[in-house]
């Protein structure tokens, strides 16, 4: 198969879909890899490193899309990229379609087979291709919150870990999953006063066993959530509903009542955000203030540390990408019931129920979409 790796063009996105190590695996399997020039520059990898492992470097993204059968990216395709997708293309990347009607419409129109990292399942019901970026984002969320607390950025002027004789900041983490657990580890490491809310008692028990009395665990009811948010210096939104838009857990009315100079960090912003006052921001302009509360809502947080993020992402996506190349999309997906949920759009049909429900499309089960096409081809 011909594999294409275009340079990421989303604002301040420096990651790359395939590292040279991954490219070497593809070429060893007999596949041809085409990489846009400077695609790896953001992680400190030049074109010669790709050529050394058998890739061919092309001068433009247009050449990559024209040549490739499968496109491997990091972030969702931008409008100019979606415009050149073809029905015979396989697109393998993060999509986050539920809050993105324009992207979904374009992918449906393209007829391409579009597989989302974030809806591939693990045997335990986890999201293995989202996990490494959630780990990075969870750790970065505390660093971002600590920075936003500084007075020059609109915060209250509180040092997140305090100093002897002065109380640390109160950090409230909403959601104890992968993002939340890594945020907790970082916040406790910095000396913050940390509370986590979750509706899964098993999650709270596990976190309590891990961190002991250093971590406060609270079962998340509406009343408990409101109490904790109003007392917080930093609130980290770490909730996720796979493939669907994030629930709005912190209302605008709650934000109005929060302490002046407190901070909201919305890690769920890729899925629309879990705070009612959230709107996506960028690394160059990461925060804004509403009702004296600093909002940090950068939509590609792991892009701030692209080298770490790109290699961590490739570690988990490579086996699935190789399966697509070795078997073709239809067979690779049908052979693996945990990979199959990754199919979000195929042949003009929406095959992820959460996306269909969020945006008003008719839902077609992925098995049906793939089987129907095979029947027509026969």
β-sheet with 70-72: strand ranges across: 56-58, 32-36, 2-5, 70-72, 90-93, 113-116, 343-346, 349-350
Nearest to 193 by CA among 176, 175, 211, 179: 211
Q: Hunting for tokens 């705070």 — which residue is that?
A: 275
Nearest to 114 by CA among 324, 361, 287: 324
Nearest to 35 by CA among 55, 52, 21, 13: 55
Tell me how far apart the alpha carbons of residues 117 and 359 are, in angstroms, rounded to a whole number. Answer: 19
Backbone angles phi, psi at 342, to 5 degrees: -70, -20
Q: Could you say which of 31, 96, 182, 295 is catalytic?
A: 96
Contact 345, 329 (CB under 8 A): no
Contacts of residue 135, defined as CB under 8 A and 6 or more positions apart, other chains included, come to 178, 179, 182, 312
Give the largest CA-CA distance in the chain.
76
β-sheet with 293-296: strand ranges across: 215-219, 193-198, 170-174, 234-237, 263-266, 293-296, 287-290
Nearest to 156 by CA among 80, 245, 56, 231: 231
Torsion of CA 95, 100, 101, 103, to 10 degrees: -40
What single DSSP character describes residue 96?
Answer: -
User: CA angle, 42 as apex, 302 and 329 as ends, to 5°?
Assistant: 70
| Catalytic residue list contains 96 | yes
Query: What is the phi-psi region of residue 245: left when phi exceeds 0, alpha when psi lies from -120 to 50, beta otherwise?
Result: beta
Q: Could you say which of 100, 106, 233, 270 is catalytic?
A: 270
**Which are the catalytic amino acids?**
96, 270
């Amino acid at each position: 198969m011909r594999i294409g790796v275009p340079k990421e063009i989303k604002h301040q996105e420096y990651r790359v879909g395939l590292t040279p190590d991954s490219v070497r695996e593809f070429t060893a399997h007999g596949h041809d890899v085409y990489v846009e020039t400077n695609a790896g520059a953001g992680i400190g990898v030049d074109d010669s490193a790709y050529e050394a492992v058998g890739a061919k470097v092309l001068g433009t993204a247009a050449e990559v899309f024209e040549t490739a059968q499968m496109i491997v990216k990091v972030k969702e395709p931008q409008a100019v990229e979606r415009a050149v997708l073809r029905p015979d293309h396989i697109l393998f990347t993060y999509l986050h379609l539920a809050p993105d009607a324009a992207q979904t419409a374009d992918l449906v129109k393209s007829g391409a087979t579009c597989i989302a990292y974030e809806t591939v399942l693990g045997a335990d019901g986890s999201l293995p291709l989202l996990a490494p970026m959630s780990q990075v984002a969870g750790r970065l969320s505390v660093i971002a919150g600590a920075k936003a607390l500084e007075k020059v950025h609109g915060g209250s002027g509180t040092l997140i870990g305090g100093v002897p004789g002065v109380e640390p900041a109160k950090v409230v983490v909403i959601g104890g999953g992968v993002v939340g657990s890594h945020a907790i580890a970082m916040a406790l490491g910095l000396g913050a006063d940390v509370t986590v809310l979750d509706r899964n008692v098993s999650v709270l028990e596990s976190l309590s066993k891990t961190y002991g009395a250093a971590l406060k665990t609270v079962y998340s009811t509406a009343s408990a959530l409101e109490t904790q948010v109003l007392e917080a210096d930093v609130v980290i939104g770490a909730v996720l509903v796979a493939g669907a838009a994030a629930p709005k857990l912190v209302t605008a009315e709650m934000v109005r009542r929060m302490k002046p100079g407190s901070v909201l960090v919305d890690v769920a912003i890729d899925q629309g955000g879990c705070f009612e006052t959230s709107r996506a921001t960028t690394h160059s302009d990461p925060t804004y203030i509403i009702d004296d509360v600093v909002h940090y809502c950068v939509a590609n947080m792991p892009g701030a540390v692209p080298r770490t993020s790109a290699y961590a992402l490739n570690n988990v996506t490579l086996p699935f990408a190789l399966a697509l190349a070795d078997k073709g999309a239809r067979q690779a997906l049908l052979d693996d019931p945990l990979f199959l949920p990754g199919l979000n759009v195929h042949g003009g049909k929406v095959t992820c129920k959460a996306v269909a429900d969020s945006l008003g499309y008719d839902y077609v089960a992925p098995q049906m979409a793939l089987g129907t096409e095979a029947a027509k081809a026969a």
